[in-house]
Every structure is written in C-alpha cells, then in structure tokens.
Chain A
Amino acid sequence: MRPSLRLLNLEVPSLQGPRALYVCSGCRQEARPRPIVARQFLRHASNADSLSERVRRKIWGTDNPPGVEDPYGGQGALERKFKNQQAQKQEQAPEPAPVEDLPLVDDSYEPATTWKGLERIGHLDRWNDAPRTEVDTYESFSLKKKIYKKGPLNLAAHQTAVEICMMHALDKPLLSICSVAEHEKPVFKMIWKCKIQPNGTWDKALEYPNQEAEKSLVYIFEQIGGQPAAPVAEEAAAEQTEEDTEALELVDFNEPVSQTPIAPFFGYQDARDPGCLTLPLTDADTKFAFLKRFSQLTGHYFPDPVIHQISTVQQAVAYVQGELKPKPKKLAEHLAENEGLQGMPNVKIFGKRRTTLHKDDEMGRKKIIEAELRARGLL
C-alpha cells in the first residue's frame, strides 16, 4: 500500500469526529492490529513455508518455482559461522577422528614426485585443521648454524672425503651417505684416524689406521643405502665385528638422528690428515655427492656457477672459507689504500655516513648543545 493512500484512509474519519478525540496518523498506525502476514514474515526463506517462498510459488504457479530460493542471500555470515562451529564441535565430540583413517596413511598411497597429471597441488582437505603428523615435522637438511672456522671445515671435508671413498670402494650409491645425519663418536673417531693419499683416486685413496677399523667401517658402510649384496658375507662380517660393535653401540642408520650434539664433530678441532684436499672433483657424480654431503655437514650451500668452477676438494673448502669469492671491498677501504689520495691535504675520506651530529662536532656546536641538554636534564 502506498503511504499517501494509507494516511488518507486513516485521517478522513478523524476529521468527522470531535476534535479532542483526534489521534495522529502515526499513532493510529501503531495502534492498529498488525496483520498476520507481517508476523509470519521472515527475512530469509530457510523454511519452505516462508512468505517469500509462498509468494514465489504463487507467482510461478508451481510448487517448484525456478530461480534462487532465497532472494536475500540466505543467512548472515556470523550466523553461518556459528552454525558451522557448532556442527564441527558436534562432529568432533563423539569421535576424535583418528589419524590412521586418513588416506595419507593408506598403504596404496604413493606420494607424487612430480606434479604431472595431478589435478591439484597440495593437501586435498583443510590442512590447517588436521592434527600434526610425522610428515608435517620439518627437519633441515643441513646444519642450522653454519661452520666458518678452518679446523671444523677441514674436519667436515675429511669426513666427507672418507665417506665418499668408502662408498666408492664398496660400490654403493654415493648420495645415500646423506641419509646418515651424524655418526656415533667411535665411528667418527675411526673416520678421523683414516688417512687419504694425496693425488689418489677416490676408490683407492683411503688408508685405514688398522685392520679392525677397516672391518668395522666396511661393515658400517655396508648398512648404508640398502641391504648388502650377500647375506652370508654380512653374517660373517657381523661375527667378525661383534666385539667391535658391542663397544661401539652402532646406531640404526636408516633413521636420521634428530638430536645434534652440543659440540660439532665431538669436540675435535682439526683434521688429522690434510690429504683429502688434493682429491679431484672432476667426475660429476662424485663432485655432486661430495658437495651435497659437505654442505650437509657445514651448512653452506653451493650455487651452480661455483659448483661449475670447483675442481678439487681444496677449492670447495676455500669457497666456504670465503677465499674463492671474497666479499666486495668497500669503496672507502679502496680509497683509503690509494696512495695518490693519501698524501693530499684537501681530501677527506669517511667510511660511514656523515650526519648533522658530525657537522655540529666540526663546527664546535656539539659541546654547547650537550651542555644545554645537560642543564635541562635531557642528557
């Protein structure tokens, strides 16, 4: 009903009656009994009997009218969120949703190595809402703290060289050594005692301190990168090194050790034998394996152009020590070394930015400013 007509209807009878009984149109409208239709009116058509739904049915003449059921967009955002939360709580309360039931733990599940053919990248469900699993825990490949000192770097290079030599000698995949994050102390001690012949080849350069150590190391490195080729040989080796293993308490190498010791390299300060530095890195596979293991032990990464430049172990160590690509010198240092500029009285070179404080100092204002600040209690 248009407002003008409505007002007209209400006000006409009031003019006929006595003036004292006059009630304004607003109050009349308020006092009037509200129609049933208005009480039944709902903003959204969540139920089928709502006014809007009935009107729609009447307009279209069918019980299933086309178009959007709720022309007002349904429930509000807060209402929807509240309902969702309640529904989630109800779902979670009776059953805590065991992780084992997730398709991730399914035996038939194979993680994709490339994204070719995948319809979607990432988690299929809301990953944030799922509880943390073993897969979610992140362990850094390399050390969290980089090694910069010369002694530990030499130790890392020696250890890496010995390991790669062992993998070469045993004809094992070279990169599998990276699955061992850290050796036990007795094993590391044996590696430390090993020597490497200078200018030798990778498969024959290694010199063991004694036969027992050789047997132990061979046995240990046989375990790395899959099962040994001959089980009989393994048994024999196991019998031979039984006494050693009791003392050594070997770790399970298939499980990477998560806890790092307080002191890197068990407190050893420097490599015993510098022979590893002369080993060549001309073979691409060996070079990659060496650099990968070396970066794992030291925390330094090698960019591609540097990998291309490196041809010996010495160069790899030199790069990490900053010798291969030194930091660019500051211009101030360069100019300070310039002999032509040094003798000139009219040239001043500053290593740091000049500020107004410096200017005040030069002009002799600094003392006055400080004195005034002290007098006012601001300094």
Chain B
Amino acid sequence: MPIQGVRTVTTARNGVGAFILQCKQLDFHYCDWAGSSRGMVSYLKHQLPAFAKANPQIEIRVSPRPNKHPVIRGLFINGREKVICVRNLEPGAIIKKVNLLKEASGEKLKRTTKPVTSINESVRGIWSPYHGGIKSV
C-alpha cells in the first residue's frame, strides 16, 4: 500500500493571520509656482494614480501649499505622523520616499539590540536545543 501524505488544510503563515497596513493616510503638499516642487508635480501627475490604485487602504490627499517646499505627510494608526520634505527631488526619488512612509510602522526609529522585541518579554529567554539541562548523554 503506497504511503500517502497528509493533505494540508491551512497554509502556514508563520503565525501571521492578518496584516493591517500601519499607514492610513498620505498627504501630498506642493507649490504650483516654486521650482523645488517640479519633481513632486510630475510625480502627482504621472505616478500617483498607479500608487493610489495599488494601495486602496491608504487615504491620499493632495493639496497645494503655496510658497513652501513640497512635503509628504504620513499619518499612522498609532496616532503618530511622519513628514518628509521632498524639495528638488526627482519623481523616482519621491517614489522611494512614499514607499518608505507606506511601509513604516509609525513608531519612532530606535536601535534593535535584542533578537526578539515584545511588549511582554520572557524571563526565560529563547529556547535553544543546545542549552539547558542535559540529563543523559
């Protein structure tokens, strides 16, 4: 009798069942007159429709800010916001900044020194097969 493997009922997601994007809103500010907004204006004209279509969960607001440098403001679900000035940047560089905001968690940037970060840290640390009480060899 041939051996049959057990069929997988669910897909393993490494413990992650759902994902909510932390960035909830992106505000694009530009100036119609100033030269530092040239790249931003080009981005809004040509790249923004595709980005908005690909990310329907992000609210996008475009409004002028006369006589000021162009700015992208990201609002996150933790209540924080991040602002990036994109003066004199080309549309390609602005795409990178927009992705940075989109993928950000909204938290302050901080150095990670431990392999596991949790709000409920374990006293025992991470289990390792090479450590612990070995009763018999």
What residues make up the interface of A, taking CB atoms closer than 8 Å to B?
328, 330-332, 334-335, 338, 340-341, 344-354
Contact = CB atoms under 8 A, between A and B. Distances in A.
Nearest to A336: B62
B124 interface: no
B64 A347 contact: no
A346 B32 contact: no
Majority DSSP secondary structure for residues of A touching B: loop
Contacts of B52: 341, 344, 346-347
B58 A332 contact: no
A344 B62 contact: no
A341 B49 contact: yes
Contacts of B48: 335, 341, 347
A99 B129 CA distance: 112
Majority DSSP secondary structure for residues of B touching A: mixed
Contacts of A330: 32, 64
A348 B61 contact: yes
B104 interface: no
B46 to A, nearest CB: 10
Nearest to A344: B52
Given A340-B53, A344-B53, A346-B58, A334 B63 contact: no
Interface in B29-43: 30, 32, 41
Interface residues of B, number: 21
Interface in B50-90: 52-53, 55-66
Contact of B30 (A331, A340, A346, A348): A331
Contacts of A351: 64
Given A340-B49, A344-B53, A346-B56, A335 B66 contact: no
B62 A335 contact: yes
A50 B115 CA distance: 95
A349 B62 contact: yes
A226 to B, nearest CB: 49
A31 B60 CA distance: 93
Nearest to B58: A346
Contacts of B64: 330-332, 350-353
A332 B56 contact: no
A340 B66 CA distance: 25
Contacts of B56: 344-346
B45 interface: yes
Nearest to A342: B49
Contact of A346 (B44, B59, B65, B66): B59
B63 A350 contact: yes
Contact of A348 (B41, B44, B53, B59): B59
Given A347-B52, A353-B66, A354-B61, 6 more contacts: A331-B44, A332-B63, A344-B56, A349-B62, A351-B64, A353-B63
A345 B56 CA distance: 8
Contacts of A332: 62-64
A335 B32 CA distance: 13
A145 to B, nearest CB: 26
B60 A348 contact: yes
A331 B61 contact: no
A111 B10 CA distance: 99
Contacts of B32: 328, 330-331
A222 B10 CA distance: 102
7 contacts: A331-B44, A331-B45, A338-B45, A346-B56, A348-B62, A349-B63, A354-B61
